[in-house]
Amino acid sequence: MGYYLKCVCGYPFNDALGYEHQSIIVPRVDAEDVDNSLCEDFKAFFRAIANGRRDTWVREIFPEPYPLDVDDADVLNDLVQRHAFSRSKRLLHCPDCGRIHIQLQHEHSLYRSFVREEPGHPNPQSVEPKH
Ligand SMILES: [Zn+2]
């Protein structure tokens, strides 16, 4: 079964195991752009509805096979998904060893991993502070 990251401890992150240990993060510098472009798309969508161009507008944004007979609320939700996820990165929290893995770039498979620091945490690779 394919996975997109295997933790150092061996835990295999993949979508088949569900999303319980996965989060989506959007960098603050990108969040404002996401908000602005989302607001622009919302305004354009409502303008298109008012002008009787709804389906044409939806088709410009969402190519086939996106259905045109979806509710307006679904279109708005899909716009949110489209904008938010276009800048998002995965944050994976290993349920076995507590490591955090942060995807370095959207749609890329490189991750940076962080080990838990709490004293007494049973992590064989934790390093004692130098001071
Ligand atoms: Zn692990």
pLDDT digits (tens, 9 = 90+) for 50-87: 999 999 999 999 999 999 999 999 999 999 988 888 88
CB 83 within 8 A of CB 38: yes
- Residue where the block lists tokens 């991750």: 111
Going from the Cα of 122 to the center of ligand 1, the distance in angstroms, rounded, reads 12
Average pLDDT (94-110) is 90
Burial 9-44 (b: 16+ CB within 10 A, else e): eebebeeeeeeebeeeebeeebeeebeeebeebeee
Going from the Cα of 66 to the center of ligand 1, the distance in angstroms, rounded, reads 38
Going from the Cα of 97 to the center of ligand 1, the distance in angstroms, rounded, reads 4
Going from the Cα of 26 to the center of ligand 1, the distance in angstroms, rounded, reads 23
Going from the Cα of 12 to the center of ligand 1, the distance in angstroms, rounded, reads 8
Going from the Cα of 91 to the center of ligand 1, the distance in angstroms, rounded, reads 13
| CA–CA gap between residue 22 and residue 95 (Å, rounded) | 10
Task: Encode pLDDT of 17-60 as tens digits.
Answer: 778 899 989 888 888 888 899 999 999 999 999 999 999 999 99
pTM here?
A: 0.66
Going from the Cα of 11 to the center of ligand 1, the distance in angstroms, rounded, reads 5
Going from the Cα of 129 to the center of ligand 1, the distance in angstroms, rounded, reads 21
- Residue where the block lists tokens 């996820």: 85
Going from the Cα of 85 to the center of ligand 1, the distance in angstroms, rounded, reads 25
